[in-house]
Structure 1
Amino acid sequence: MNFVSKYTVVFLCIVLSGCAGMIRSVDQEQVESIRKVAVVSQLGNTFIGSLTATTVFGNKGYKVDASGWQVDRAITAAAVEAIQRGGRSALSLQSNAKLPELLKEATNNGADTLFLVTPAGYSNQPDFPPGYGFHRRVFLGIDRACIYSLFVTVAYDVKSGREIGQSWSFPKSEGAIPCEATAGIAWKDDFARYTKDERELIRKATIASVTTNIQTSVTGLGLTR
C-alpha cells in the first residue's frame, strides 16, 4: 500500500468507526530510538458550532473561519513543548501537504519521527463533529454546552514511512471527550451573534482545549515522562 492510500485508509477508519482497537502507544523499543520529532497539525481553520436536540428536527449548526486564531500553530507549539519535556528534540512544521511530502520535509529537518494531528470522529460520541468548536446537547431536560476539540495524533517512522502509533485527544482509559463549559456564554446558532468580548473568550477556551488535549495525545503515544 502506498503512503497516500495508507494515510487515507487510517483517516477514514478513525472517522467512520472510531477504530478503538487501533489506538496504541508507540512500542517502548521504538520510543527509546526516537531522537527528534517533527510535529504537523492539520486540524484546520474551521470552528464548528453544533446543537444536538432531542430530535433531528431541532438540530442546528454553523461553521466559521477561525484562521486568525492560529489553532494549528498553538497545537504544534504545545506538542513540541511536551515532547521536549520528555527529553527529546522536537520541531513544528506548518504544512497542509500529504504524508509523502511531510515525511520528506521531516527528513530534511533531521527528524526521525513524524507526529501528524488530524480531525477524527469518535463513534461512541457521534454528536461531536471532528475538529473543534462549541457543542450543545439538549435531551429530555438536560441542556449542556461546552467548548471541545476532537482529533487523533498518528506517529510515523520517517525513514520507512511506517505508522508506529496513534493516540486520541482524550485519555483512552476515560473514553470520553473533554468538554469544558464556558462560563457566562450561552450557545448561539450564529457566531455573528456573539459580542467581541464573547468571541475572545471562545477563542481562548478553544486554544486551551486544543493545547491541553494535544499534551494528552502526546502522553498517550508514550513520549512524555
Structure 2
Amino acid sequence: MATVILVRHGRTTANATGLLAGRALGVSLDDTGREQAARTGERLSAVPVAGVVSSPLERCLQTARFILDRQPGSPYAPVDPDLTECDYGQWQGRPLSDLAAQELWPLVQSHPSAVVFPGGESMAGMQARAVAAVRRHDAAFEAEFGPGAVWVAVSHGDVIKSILADALGMHLDLFQRINVGPASVSIVHYGAQRPSVYATNTEAGNLSWLANGLQSGDAPVGGGAGRKTP
C-alpha cells in the first residue's frame, strides 16, 4: 500500500489562548503556527508527494499550502470533510480551563470511546470516519501511483491521534497516551498484512528516506538494520 504522512495544522490563535476551537470558522495560524508550518513544508520538500488531502478548516488549508508551495509541480490537493475536526458541540469555543471542570472531562481522559459531546459528535464516530477516509485515500493513491506512493493528510490533533491509535492496534480508550503537536509529522504505511507506524509527533529530522516510498513485507525479527538516508 501507499504511505501517508499525517500532519497536524500549525499553532492557532485559539491554541495560544487555551480555547477549544472545534469547527469554528476564522481560526487561523498565528505567527508561531506559520513558522511551524513553513518548517514542516521544508522538511517535506525532500519527499515528492502524490497529493495533499486537507481538512476543510482554515488552519489546515493554510498548513497544506505551506507544504504544497514547496512541492514540485502541482500535487493533487483535495479537501475532505471526513478529516475535519471533531464536532465538540456545546464545548466548542470554550476555554479548556472551564471544560476541565465539566463532569464529562474525566471520561474524555480515561474512556473516550464512550464520550459523546453534548450537541456534537462521539469520539468513536470521529475515529471511524477519519480512519475510513485515510484508508480510502491511501488505496486510491496506490491505485493511481503505485505502492511506492507517498501522500499527506493535514488534519487535527484528536483526529490524528485516533488514526494513529487504529494503526497501532490500540483501543480508542488509550489514545490519550499519544501526543500530536502543532505541525508535527507522523508516518503510517498500510501494508498488506497490517499497518506499520514509522514515526509519531516528529518536529524535525531528515525525511528524504521516504522519497522512494516504503514497501510492504514481514516485520524484521530483532528490529532490523534500519533505513539509509539517501
Q: What is the TM-score of this pair, normalised by structure 1?
A: 0.30
Q: Name the structure, 1 or 2, with higher relative contact order (CA <8 Å, separation 6+).
A: 2
Q: What is the TM-score of this pair, normalised by structure 2?
A: 0.30
Which structure has more strand as a fraction of its residues? 1
